[in-house]
Amino acid sequence: MSGPSIRSLRQLAIGSSQAMRPTAPAFTIASTSSRNLTARFLSTAAVQATRLPKPKKPTTQTPKPTTPPVVPYKRYRQPKPELTKFPEGHGEQIWVYNNIVTNQVVYSHTPVLRSNRALKQLPFNGKKTKPAKLRKDYWRPMALIQFGEGEGVVGQSVFQKLREFRRLHELSWGHQKNDMYALDRKALGEALNDQRANSIADMAAVLAGAGQGNRIQVRGAEVSASTSAVVPADGKLAEAIVFWANDQDRNIAGSWSKNVRHAAGLPPLTRVRQSEEEELLAA
């Protein structure tokens, strides 16, 4: 009689091993999920308990502080003119150019009139009053203001005051207001462009010390109590020489101060113009 087959013995071994394996309780998953939910609820409640309640917004608006905020002290920076890279003697000469057609006036520190800088000085006074480009055959040097050697700062200050005074002539018409309003648009633009006589009068006033902060006045100046004019303490102003292309132009101004001397004719400009043009081409 033959014994049990190998196949039947193998099936019996597999069945006995499965019967001996412990089974997990049915409530394990449910108990684990309930524990997690309980722990999460407790942690959320603890965090909410530790938080402070939000403050309520006040019903009445608090007035804004009227005192300005305290600004920290800022150290004054000393001027550094060497960083401007100006050539030596910059500001010692002021060239006054005049348009022979419209009598417009342009100021320059160089004998060569630079188009991009000159156009910035010309205002727009109406249609066809400001050229798109400068024609050099229309512009002629009218005068040259020469200061002493090393007085470039004085020349720069005078240059600034001359431009400020010309802007006042263009915007503030004074006693001529009614006459200017009576002109049509074209005539008004031509009248505003004609600044030749005003520029000569401005030169006489600025070289006499007019204008707040004018550095032609010697340091130590005092303001007179009777008038708003600034009078130097020692009555001294920086010396200046005005070279005129036409010597009769200086008579347009009513008077000139004692620190100004006049000379007929402009200095020769051939060599100066060539050197300036070479520098412009090299740049």
- Going from N- to C-terminal start, the domains of the chain cover 85-219+232-278
Cα gap 138→115, rounded to integer Å:
13
Say what the pTM is.
0.63
In angstroms, rounded to a whole number, what is the distance separating the alpha carbons of residues 95 and 158? 12
Calpha distance 267→90 (Å, rounded): 18
What pLDDT does 220 receive? 53
Distance of alpha carbon 225 from alpha carbon 203, whole angstroms:
26
Are 234 and 221 contacting, i.e. CB atoms less than 8 angstroms apart? no
What does each C-alpha distance from 165 to 123, 195, 202, 243 come to in angstroms? 14, 11, 7, 21
Confidence at residue 281, expressed as pLDDT on a 0 to 100 scale:
47
Q: Are 208 and 162 in contact (CB under 8 A)?
A: no
Cα Rg of the chain, angstroms:
45
Identity of residue 158: V
The pLDDT value recorded for residue 228 is 40
Q: How far apart are CA 164 and CA 248, in angstroms?
A: 25
pLDDT tens for the chain, 283 residues long, are 455 666 666 666 666 655 555 555 544 444 555 666 565 655 665 656 666 666 776 666 666 667 766 666 666 777 777 787 888 888 899 999 999 999 999 999 989 888 888 999 999 988 888 888 888 899 999 999 999 888 888 999 999 999 999 999 999 888 888 999 999 999 999 999 999 999 999 999 999 988 888 889 876 544 443 334 444 445 589 999 999 999 999 999 989 999 999 999 998 864 444 444 455 445 4
Under 8 Å CB-to-CB from 108, ≥6 apart: which residues? 94, 95, 97, 114, 117, 118
What is the SS3 assignment for 20? helix
